[in-house]
Amino acid sequence: MSSLGIRARLFIAAVASVTVAVFILVVVFNVVLARRLSSDVDSLLHARANAELSAVRIKGGRPVIAESPDGAAAVSPIWVFAGRTPIEVPRAPAEIDRWARLMARQPVGIRDVPGAETRLLSVAVADGDRRVGTVIAAASLDPYRDTQRAVLLGSVVMGAALVLAFALSTGWILRRALQPVSRMTADAAEWSEHDLDRRFELGPPKDELTQLGATLDDLLDRLAAGLRREQRLTAEISHELRTPLARIQAESDLVLRRERSSAEYSAALASISQNARRMAAIIATLLDAARQEASPASATCDVRTAAQAVVTACAPVAEAHSIDVELASSPTPARARVDQALAEGILQPLLENACRHARAHVTVTIDAVDGRVRVTVADDGPGIGEHEVETVFEPGARGAGSGGAGLGLSLARRLARAGNGDVVARGGAPGTFVVVLPSATTPAQPPGQKGHRLLHQ
pLDDT in tens, 227-258: 777 777 777 677 667 777 887 888 788 778 77
Q: How far apart are CA 391 and CA 52, in angstroms?
A: 118
Domain shared by 127 and 206, yes or no: no
Lowest mean pLDDT, pick from 103-117, 290-304, 315-329:
290-304
Mean pLDDT of the chain, nearest integer? 82
Among residues 245, 265, 295, the one where a domain terminates is 295
What confidence score (pLDDT) does residue 316 get?
A: 86
Tell whether the model's pLDDT for residue 8 goes beyond 50: yes
For residue 393, what is the DSSP state? G
**Domain total for the chain?**
3
The strands making up 422-426's β-sheet, listed across from edge to edge, are: 324-329, 361-369, 372-379, 431-438, 422-426
pLDDT band at 36; cut points 50, 70, 90: very high
Q: How far apart are CA 159 and CA 161, in angstroms?
A: 5
Among residues 262, 295, 328, the one where a domain terminates is 295
What confidence score (pLDDT) does residue 295 get?
A: 61
pLDDT tens-digit series, residues 311-346: 998 888 888 888 999 998 777 678 888 888 888 888
Asked if the structure places residue 185 within a domain, the reply is no
Domain shared by 340 and 317, yes or no: yes
Q: How far apart are CA 192 and CA 269, in angstroms?
A: 48
pLDDT tens-digit series, residues 191-216: 767 776 777 777 777 777 778 778 87
Q: How far apart are CA 134 and CA 126, in angstroms?
A: 8
How open is the CA angle 369-338-310, to the nearest 5 degrees? 90
Among residues 264, 295, 326, the one where a domain terminates is 295
Give Cα separations from 420 to 106, 286, 309 (angstroms).
Answer: 102, 16, 22
Domain shared by 132 and 267, yes or no: no
Domain shared by 351 and 439, yes or no: yes
Asked if the structure places residue 186 within a domain, the reply is no
Asked if the structure places residue 189 within a domain, the reply is no
3-state helix, strand, coil split of the chain in percent (to 5) is 55, 20, 25
Tell whether the model's pLDDT for residue 171 goes beyond 80: yes
What confidence score (pLDDT) does residue 99 get?
A: 93
* pLDDT > 90 in the chain, percent: 31
What confidence score (pLDDT) does residue 442 get?
A: 62
Domain shared by 337 and 281, yes or no: no
pLDDT band at 294; cut points 50, 70, 90: low
Structural domain containing residue 268:
198-295
pLDDT band at 297; cut points 50, 70, 90: low
pLDDT band at 379; cut points 50, 70, 90: very high
Asked if the structure places residue 170 within a domain, the reply is no
Give Cα separations from 419 to 119, 219, 414 (angstroms).
Answer: 94, 22, 9
What confidence score (pLDDT) does residue 449 get?
A: 43
Tell whether the model's pLDDT for residue 107 goes beyond 70: yes
What amino acid occupies position 344? E
Domain shared by 284 and 355, yes or no: no
Domain shared by 307 and 288, yes or no: no
84-103 mean pLDDT: 90
Domain shared by 274 and 311, yes or no: no
pLDDT band at 450; cut points 50, 70, 90: very low
| Residues 439 and 374: beta-carbon distance below 8 Å | no
pLDDT band at 445; cut points 50, 70, 90: low
pLDDT band at 403; cut points 50, 70, 90: very low
**332 or 2: whose pLDDT is higher?**
332
Asked if the structure places residue 100 within a domain, the reply is yes
Domain shared by 456 and 368, yes or no: yes
Domain shared by 258 and 387, yes or no: no
Nearest of 152, 132, 139 to residue 40 by alpha carbon: 139
Domain shared by 439 and 368, yes or no: yes
What confidence score (pLDDT) does residue 400 get?
A: 39
Tell whether the model's pLDDT for residue 401 goes beyond 60: no
Q: Residue 417 maps to which CATH number?
A: 3.30.565.10
Domain shared by 445 and 303, yes or no: yes
